[in-house]
C-alpha cells in the first residue's frame, strides 16, 4: 500500500472501521487520532490511459471528485472525534464511527483500486502469474472461473458496493467476498483485488450496462500489484 494512502494511523482507522455500526465509547477511548491528514493519492498513469475500457472522463471524476470527497469526509470525521475526545465526551466520539467507516473505507478502497489498475498492455490485463496464479488455480480452477465468480458477485450487489479477491491472513487461502457501500475489508482478510460496483465507476460510459463494465475492467487489472499483496 502506498505510503500516501493514509497519513492518519492506518491501524487506528481499521480498528474503528470494523463495522458500520457505531462502536461503544470504550471502543474509541483507547484510539488516538492525532496524526496528519489523509490526502488524495496521485495516480501512476494519466486519466485517459485506461481507455477504451474506462474512459478518461470517468477516471477524472472518480479520482478528483468522488475520492476527494471521501478524503475530505475522513478528515472531518477524525477532526470531530479529536474534538470530542479532547472534551472527554466518548459517547459523542463514538457517534462519528459510521462516518469514519464510510469515508475512511472509501479512501482505503479507492486507494487500493487505483493501484489495481494499469493501462492495457503496459502492466494491465492478461492474467495472474507465479504464486498468485497457482493459488487461483487451486482455489477456483483457473483465472476464467475466478473472473466469472467475481463478475457474478458484482452483478449480485444490490445498490452500491465492492467485490474483492481476498486472502485469509490466518488460515491462508483465497476467496471472493462482497462489501456493501464503502465498508473496508477488515479482520484476518487481506484485500488483493477490488472492483468498484458503484455507479460512479461506470455509468457515464456504460450507463445501465454494468455487466459490460465488469467484463471490461479485467483488461486493465494490474496483476503484478495484486500478486505483491499476497503473503
Burial track 105-123 (b if 16+ CB lie within 10 A, e otherwise): bbbbbbbbbbbbbbbbeeb
What is the spatial distance between Cα 113 and Cα 220, in angstroms, rounded to a whole number?
11
Do the annotations mark residue 67 as ligand-binding? no
Locate cell 474509541: which residue?
28
Residues 6+ positions from 198 with CB-CB distance below 8 Å: 160, 161
C-alpha to C-alpha distances, 4 to 29, 30, 103, nearest whole angstrom: 26, 24, 16
**Of 194, 182, 33, 186, which Cα lies nearest the Cα of 102?**
182
Q: Is 200 annotated as ligand-binding?
A: yes
**CA distances (Å), origin 178, targets 90, 102, 194:** 32, 15, 9
Q: What angle do CA 193, 128, 119 make, to 5 degrees?
A: 70
Give the whole-angstrom CA distance, residue 104 versus residue 77: 9
**Is 137 annotated to bind ligand?**
no
**Binding-site residue set for Mn(2+):** 62, 110, 196, 200
**Binding-site residue set:** 62, 110, 196, 200
Amino acid at each position: 500500500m502506498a505510503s500516501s494512502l493514509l497519513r492518519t494511523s492506518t491501524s487506528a482507522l481499521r480498528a474503528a472501521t470494523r463495522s458500520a455500526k457505531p462502536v461503544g465509547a470504550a471502543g474509541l477511548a483507547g484510539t488516538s487520532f492525532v496524526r496528519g491528514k489523509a490526502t488524495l493519492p496521485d495516480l501512476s498513469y494519466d486519466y485517459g490511459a485506461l481507455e477504451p475500457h474506462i474512459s478518461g472522463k470517468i477516471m477524472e471524476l472518480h479520482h478528483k471528485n468522488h475520492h476527494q470527497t471521501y478524503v475530505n469526509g475522513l478528515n472531518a470525521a477524525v477532526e470531530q472525534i479529536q474534538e470530542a475526545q479532547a472534551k472527554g465526551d466518548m459517547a459523542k466520539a463514538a457517534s462519528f464511527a459510521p462516518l469514519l467507516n464510510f469515508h475512511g473505507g472509501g479512501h482505503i478502497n479507492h486507494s487500493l483500486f487505483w493501484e489495481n489498475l494499469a493501462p492495457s498492455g503496459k502492466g494491465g490485463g492478461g492474467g495472474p502469474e507465479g504464486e498468485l496464479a497457482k493459488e487461483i488455480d487451486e482455489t477456483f480452477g483457473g483465472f476464467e472461473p475466478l473472473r466469472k465468480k467475481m463478475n457474478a458477485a458484482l452483478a449480485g450487489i444490490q445498490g452500491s458496493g465492492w467485490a474483492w479477491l481476498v486472502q485469509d491472513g490466518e488460515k491462508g487461502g483465497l476467496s471472493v467476498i462482497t462489501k456493501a457501500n464503502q465498508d473496508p475489508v477488515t479482520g484476518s482478510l487481506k484485500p488483493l483485488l477490488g472492483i468498484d460496483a458503484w455507479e460512479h465507476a461506470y455509468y457515464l460510459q456504460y450507463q445501465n450496462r454494468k455487466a459490460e463494465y465488469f467484463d471490461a475492467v479485467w483488461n486493465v487489472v494490474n496483476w503484478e500489484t495484486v500478486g505483491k499483496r499476497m503473503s
